[in-house]
Structure 1
Amino acid sequence: MGRRVLVAGVGMVPFAKPSAAKTYDDMGAGAVKAALDDAALPYAGIQQVYAGYVYGDSTCGQRVVYRFGQTRVPVLNVNNNCASGSSALWLARQAVESGAVECALAVGFEQMPPGALGAKWADRPTPLTDFAAALHDIYAVDPDLPMTPQYFAAAGVEYMEKYGMAPETFAKVSVKARTHAANNPYAVFRDPITLDDVLGSPRVAGPLTRLQCCPPTCGAAAAIVCSEEFARAHGLNPKVAIAAQTLQSDAEGLFDRRSAMSLVGSDVTRAAATEVYEKAGVDPRDIKVVELHDCFTVNEVLTYEGLGLCEEGGAEKFILDGDHTYGGRVVTNPSGGLLSKGHPLGATGLAQTAEITWQLRGEAGARQVENVTLGLQHNLGLGTAGVVTLFEKVS
């Protein structure tokens, strides 16, 4: 890492079901305004903009920020699947860290259609063509079911066969997610659910039931990052900094490993987390709060181990001992995560950033984790883009 990069402000709008949501430009502008207000900074102070989204035409980012004026600043539109928001933050952080600019805005938004994700272009190969071929080679893919949950169902089956975990342990993750979301006014699903509710919901694929899959969601979130010099010059007082961050794709041999866990990004998660810990000189046992990519309960379980929150094969004990929630070793997804807060693809990584920032500033209200000095964010897009960011409290 070069220059220290501070989080000057964060903001988001409440997430919503597609049937109840505003348009992407309204949501995106709401998140940007919240971040500007949080930083006590006018839009004229922003020197670059990175806008993350998946479902939208080109230059949607300009549509959002032109609400605040046309200032000639560069606006880059970023599509990196479900990691688009974190990829936008990665670019903004790089720009400030390198000295290219002193202050940059990352905004993520999504106006999602209802229903399962699917390819939008039928006249060309999909980006996941090789992934799908590899999955067909190791898993009985059902052509009548959506593909995305089948990747994670296959990963769940592989994990259970490898480590002997009971399928109902996955379901406990959904119960925990709803318990946390009850204290988050930005979350879509805040009503508590029981283990029987989760297991009794319609089967989607493999061990996954409907309540173990994140819902289509609309929403927006934003973060402003700046240098220490910029903060001093503008009278800002940021309380959070980015200690380390990495964005990675897959390593050679992915499609030869015959592993669904690898196809959904478990190797990328592990490599990215290792790099971040080494850069920051931090042991994962020092981290008390994590926002991780729980698009499906299976992925939360895989990510516990990928981030080093528990030993390999130890996720079931980690869950049964309550080490993933308040009173345990680390609180995972105090926001309710993607499963309960919702997953507007382009906004997710920046919503995670907002939650970790609030936690480090002691502003998370009823979901506040005690004595937090470090917070970890993990965002994953199939195809593959994996972002891990370590935030630290600034004294």
Structure 2
Amino acid sequence: MTVSKVYVVGVGMTPFRKPGRDEIDYPEMVREAGKKALDDAGVAYSAIEQAVVGYVYGDSTCGQRGVYELGLTGIPISNVNNNCSTGSTALFLARQLVQGGLADCVLALGFEKMQPGSLTAQFGDREQPLMRHLAALSELYELTAAPMAAQMFADAGREHMAKYGTTAEQFARIAEKNHRHSANNPYAQFQTIYSLEEILGSTMIHEPLTKLQCSPTSDGAAAAILASERFVNEHGLADRAIEIAAQEMVTDTTATFDDRSAISIVGAQMSKLAAQRVYQKSGLTIADVDVIELHDCFSVNELLTYEALGMCGEGEGGGLIDRGDTTYGGRWVVNPSGGLISKGHPLGATGLAQCTELTWQLRGTADARQVPGATVALQHNIGLGGAAVVTMYKKP
């Protein structure tokens, strides 16, 4: 089997918006994000050999309906759904097509048109996919009427506080950082800077998580065009190509349920294993990384992911945020886009929006958000149920 290097040659996204605020439907969002990615790469839609499209809330062939806005060339279009890691799953499958020599140019695209308010189950006549996770969590913490996702991550935060002395203020500092970062992101759903006091004083959702520490539901789309080394050379794209140095997807292992830990139930072990495999395959470590986009669906998960990625030891995540190690002037810049908490979280688009931000960072075109001298970037996207995708990018 031919194995090719894989490059991101074009990216694009829509602004992320609060659901119900306008009449923009998903075909329009797909058209905007896809056209931006094609224009960014400087290639025509006719060059795309396959497309992988991710979304969580939609009917069976929404991917086709959306991509038809870009052209009707008869290419294979596959639809994927992996909860909150759907966008990165589309990226993962597109990368496999190129790396395996099955295609030279593939479109990965994700979108979501969501309902306002907390996520709820869509089908009442069958077991929900998180029932096994919730059953394991109920053995550790009493389940309440709070939104289920927030409750799961809040309980993981409470466990971290009990085991390591982490404070509610440290979790809130993560949200303060991400809201501050998003003020420089014109694509972000929220661009308001909040003080630590405002974040701690906002509505309590499930202790220790307040409203301003939770990602919102969002509408939006994002896209990336992946290409082989041959395609890059033939089309003169070397000046804008960003290499995917390694990428891994991990689903739940026995540790999720056997550890008797809320931290494991919300995917920390998946993230850790995916990161370890990426470091091994890429020959790079977390010490080589300059900028990170990670899955801060809730402030708690950002702190848990610091530890899963090896940015610090177990139980030491709070120290990173206290020292300023995860913002401008620190060791890494984490979520320069504002992250899910402030940029927004349209489930199918999130992973590809992360890819878009990191591509801009490594090209040096992230404007006011630019991390000086960034040459290596790391992406982390997780969906409960579950799948964690970790991707290492580098400037060739």
TM-score using structure 2 length: 0.98
Aligned partner of 2:104 in structure 1 is 102
Aligned partner of 2:75 in structure 1 is 73
Separation in 2, partners of 1:376, 1:79: 22
Instruction: Give 2:355's match in structure 1, choosing from 349, 353, 356.
Output: 353
Aligned partner of 1:12 in structure 2 is 13
Separation in 2, partners of 1:253, 1:365: 42
Counterparts of 1:289-300 in structure 2, within 5 Å, are: 289-300=291-302
Instruction: Give 2:134's match in structure 1, choosing from 132, 135, 149.
Output: 132
Instruction: Give 1:265's match in structure 2, choosing from 239, 246, 267.
Output: 267
Instruction: Give 1:286's match in structure 2, choosing from 282, 285, 288.
Output: 288
Please state how far the C-alpha of 1:236 moved relative to its aligned partner: 2.5
Separation in 1, partners of 2:284, 2:235: 31
Please state how far the C-alpha of 1:234 moved relative to its aligned partner: 2.5
Instruction: Give 1:62's match in structure 2, choosing from 61, 64, 88.
Output: 64
Aligned partner of 1:243 in structure 2 is 245
Q: Does the residue aligned with 1:3 lie in a helix, a strand or coil? A: coil
Separation in 1, partners of 2:232, 2:278: 25
Aligned partner of 1:343 in structure 2 is 345
Q: Once the two structures are superposed, what CA deviation does each residue of 1:316-346 show, in whole Å capped at 9, x if it has no partner?
A: 1111100010000000000000000000000
Please state how far the C-alpha of 1:352 moved relative to its aligned partner: 0.2
Amino acid at match of 1:242: I
Q: Is the 8 A contact 2:30 2:69 kept in 1?
A: no
Separation in 2, partners of 1:29, 1:78: 18
Aligned partner of 1:225 in structure 2 is 226
Q: Does the residue aligned with 1:242 lie in a helix, a strand or coil? A: strand
Q: Percent identity?
A: 54
- Does 1:308 find its partner at 2:310? yes
Q: Does the residue aligned with 2:90 lie in a helix, a strand or coil? A: helix
Q: Once the two structures are superposed, what CA deviation does each residue of 1:164-196 show, in whole Å capped at 9, x if it has no partner?
A: 111111001111011100110000111110111
Q: Once the two structures are superposed, what CA deviation does each residue of 1:261-319 show, in whole Å capped at 9, x if it has no partner?
A: 11111000000000000101112011110000000000000001111112221111111
Counterparts of 1:173-212 in structure 2, within 5 Å, are: 173-212=174-213
Amino acid at match of 1:202: T
- Does 1:324 find its partner at 2:326? yes
Q: How many residue pairs get matched?
A: 393
- Does 1:37 find its partner at 2:39? yes
Amino acid at match of 1:223: A
Q: Once the two structures are superposed, what CA deviation does each residue of 1:129-172 show, in whole Å capped at 9, x if it has no partner?
A: 11111111111111x22211110011000111111111111001
Q: Once the two structures are superposed, what CA deviation does each residue of 1:95-124 show, in whole Å capped at 9, x if it has no partner?
A: 000000111000000001001011100000
Please state how far the C-alpha of 1:72 moved relative to its aligned partner: 1.1
Counterparts of 1:164-175 in structure 2, within 5 Å, are: 164-175=165-176
Please state how far the C-alpha of 1:38 moved relative to its aligned partner: 0.2
- Does 1:2 find its partner at 2:3? yes
Q: Does the residue aligned with 2:125 lie in a helix, a strand or coil? A: coil
Separation in 1, partners of 2:168, 2:64: 45
Aligned partner of 1:252 in structure 2 is 254
Separation in 1, partners of 2:184, 2:203: 26
Amino acid at match of 1:171: A
Which deviates more, 17-26 or 293-302? 17-26
Amino acid at match of 1:292: L
Which deviates more, 250-259 or 300-309? 250-259
Q: Does the residue aligned with 1:148 lie in a helix, a strand or coil? A: helix
Please state how far the C-alpha of 1:23 moved relative to its aligned partner: 1.1
Separation in 2, partners of 1:23, 1:263: 35
Aligned partner of 1:148 in structure 2 is 149
Separation in 2, partners of 1:258, 1:148: 18
Unaligned runs of 5+ in 2: none
Aligned partner of 1:161 in structure 2 is 162
Please state how far the C-alpha of 1:243 moved relative to its aligned partner: 0.2
Q: Does the residue aligned with 2:20 lie in a helix, a strand or coil? A: helix
Q: Is the 8 A contact 2:109 2:222 kept in 1?
A: yes
Separation in 2, partners of 1:291, 1:119: 28
Amino acid at match of 1:75: I
Q: Once the two structures are superposed, what CA deviation does each residue of 1:209-234 show, in whole Å capped at 9, x if it has no partner?
A: 11110011110000000001112223
Please state how far the C-alpha of 1:357 moved relative to its aligned partner: 0.2
TM-score using structure 1 length: 0.98
Aligned partner of 2:364 in structure 1 is 362
Separation in 1, partners of 2:149, 2:181: 25
Q: Once the two structures are superposed, what CA deviation does each residue of 1:232-276 show, in whole Å capped at 9, x if it has no partner?
A: 223333331100000110112422221111111100000000000
Separation in 2, partners of 1:90, 1:242: 10
Separation in 2, partners of 1:23, 1:48: 23
